[in-house]
Amino acid sequence: MALLPILRYPDPRLHTVARPVGAVDARIRQLAADMFETMFAAKGIGLAATQVDVHEQLIVMDVSEARDEPLVLINPELVATSAERAVGDEGCLSVPQIYDKVERFERVTVRFLDLDGQTRTLDAEGLLAICIQHEMDHLKGKVFVEYLSPLKRNRIKSKLAKRSRDEAEA
């Protein structure tokens, strides 16, 4: 397994729309394993392939406290959403140390392929539903800060640019 570099906002590659995975093969299984290693090392709960500069529809996540419920979603699609919506704080490994409120569906049903290439359906609510929607946005080329006002987005861009300069000088 290998740690993969995570793209940071406002990197334009984060806006690339991911293409469907053609075949669930050894390459995809290895990518998922590398993405889990990367996500856990970065202390995240979800990671989309787009964030590691692979523009295919693959998501890994584990929202469990014990970090022992890994979930892989290949070519995910929302097939149902609740009428109810909720606003909650979100963060992102591509937008480190930045959190803000985003409105999402409270419950979703997602259809996807698993690592064996089998079609599965999952009903999710709470944190898992939020994580699924957040990571699926990445596959569409959207970062959570795009739900925020232009003023907030510009402040975040400035803050991250300064942080990058400071890290480069250190």
Residue 10, token pair as written in the block: 């406002």
- b/e map of 127-148 (b: 16 or more CB within 10 Å)? ebbbbbbbbbbbbebbbbbebb
Backbone angles phi, psi at 127, to 5 degrees: -60, -40
Is 125 designated active site?
A: no
Q: Which amino acid is at 112?
A: F
Closest by CA position to 33, among listed 89, 115, 113, 112: 115
Name the catalytic one among 135, 146, 167, 169: 135
Cα separations (Å) of 5 from 15, 49, 108, 125? 16, 11, 30, 30
Residues annotated within a binding site: 92, 134, 138
Closest by CA position to 102, among listed 41, 148, 36: 148
Residues annotated within a binding site for Fe cation: 92, 134, 138
Q: Which residues participate in catalysis according to the annotation?
A: 135
